Amino acid sequence: MAGMSGSPSVALSAWRGRSAQRYVVGVHDVGSADALEAAPAVVIAVRRDEAGLASPIDVASIETAADAVAWVRLAQASGASEFHIHRLADAASERAAVVADLAPALPPSDHAA
């Protein structure tokens, strides 16, 4: 634990997919570099309202740093205030399954193309 001193703690949360599976995520500010350094991971762009309620804007599997840069720009332009990062899916196929499970919770007009 001594090696952990000075490391900022990450707030944790969870999202439930259509399957009722629970996905634990780290909550990161939209201005942090965490989403850019997350690859490979599942990343959820989130907007918070005045009451603090989180609403997902988009969800994607980020496979490379280049994917992350492009996706972060789109998410920021869509009004994201946070990124929720799920790093517990090891394979690309697992990440795709998580995205498919979480995506139905998004409004149809907010899905990325």
- pLDDT for the residue 2: 52
Whether 1 is in a domain gets the answer: no
Q: Sorting pLDDT into bands at 50, 70 and 90, what band is 113?
A: very low
Amino acid at site 46: V
Whether 27 is in a domain gets the answer: yes
Whether 3 is in a domain gets the answer: no
Question: Number of structural domains, the chain?
Answer: 1
* Prediction pTM value: 0.82
Residues, the chain: 113
- pLDDT for the residue 32: 81
Whether 102 is in a domain gets the answer: yes
CA 52 to chain centre: 17
pLDDT tens readout for residues 87-104: 999 999 999 999 999 987
CA 55 to chain centre: 12
51-62 mean pLDDT: 91
Whether 37 is in a domain gets the answer: yes
Statement: residue 86 has pLDDT above 60:
yes
Q: Sorting pLDDT into bands at 50, 70 and 90, what band is 106?
A: low
Whether 43 is in a domain gets the answer: yes
DSSP result, 31-62? TSSTTTT--SEEEEEEEE-TT--EEEEEEEEE
Whether 2 is in a domain gets the answer: no
Domain membership of residue 93 as a residue range: 11-107
